[in-house]
Structure 1
Amino acid sequence: MLLHLKNVLTRDELATARTLLGPSAPWVDGRSSAGGQAVARKNNEQLAQDSDVSHRLQALILSAVQRDPLFFSAALPRKIFNPLFNRYSGDSNHYGAHIDGAVLHSRNPAQWVRTDLSCTVFLAEPEEYDGGELLIQDVQGERRIKLPAGDLVLYPGTSLHQVTPVTRGARLASFFWIESMVRGGEQRRLLFDMDMALLRLRESLGEQEASVVQLTGTYHNLLRMWADT
């Protein structure tokens, strides 16, 4: 399942992020964090993970996604890898096709995270740069993603994906991974579709209508059956 969530960051949060990612931000070579397969394909800059700027931005991103009900419904997060931040511009402008590692070590908090889902939060407006599309291969073919600042895309961690060369301006983004309580992608999709249908039924019929109560119970019984916490 590939999902676009709009306005996950408020305008104030986005302005704060852009200020912190300004000229004095501690950018380092993105290849310093790449694995064996990715190091030859990765050509970007990444914010130094242990910097104060990175810690402030991590808290901002986590606060934004954790308050978003659609993010929770789609991801059912058990663990979230500490958000990272990258910049594509100049000669450091692309990331070739790759699949992320299955299990990655997050520093804050220190934990191993299975990468069931990948997430990119866009921090630059599309008109600020040329190129820089996130290309994702899924069952529907190639998807080209370039979203407004403050929006995010959530997609399976198993996907082959890349970032096309940025030929003008700078592409700024946060990226991270989620280990879901529900490991199976098809099961997560069924639960998300049911949750969205229940939301519409509640709006039209009310919380106490008998069929809504029954279907809500079915949703939670399925979640209970499939979830690990």
Structure 2
Amino acid sequence: MPFTRHHHGLPWPRLERHERIACHFCDALQPAPRLREGEIALCGHCGEELFQNRPRSLSRCVGWSLGAVFFMIVAHSFPFLTMEAAGARTKLGLWRAAKALYHDDSLVLAVLTVMFTIVAPAVLSLGLIYICAPLMRGRALPGSVAIARWIQFSEPWSMLEVFLLGFIVSLLKLGHLAHIEFEIGLWALVAVVICLAAAMAGIDRRELWDRLEIAIKHR
């Protein structure tokens, strides 16, 4: 049987469940207890941490998600690069990049750019706010379960960091051919990546589903 280590958790209902979990260190299969806020589940065989219910995880998740939404608006409102070569000056942004791909008969790449760098991050940040903000008061809004599934589906497809990596590689190649200036949109895009990473790291998936289940059962 696993055992728990208590930090400073707040009282909330502990409901029994029959789910089991395998320890990532020793592969021991054991029941997965439902934790109170601040508790950590440890393997009953080797003592390694299985998962935890982080203190104030919901408020941190909502805060980072709100930051991601704000910086996303900034990133889409301003160009992230100005390039000047042979007297021609060009400003580039996410939407303009997708539009340029479309006009170059690269429809698939244009759609993938919009989906992976705009739609998926927006689903993640707005979905986390929609779910976690009401859960701070123990409530679950209609459609929260479906949105939580969409968050899990879209998380691997949010590829802003991949886009930024490709962007940096392109800059290394273009730096010798043109004069390049970084704009506000680029730094806002970096901030979006940081905020989304912090929001997803702030709350455990198991904890999110536990809190949703409790809120739905106590409507």
Higher share in strand:
1
Normalising by structure 1, what TM-score? 0.23
Larger radius of gyration: 2
Higher share in helix:
2
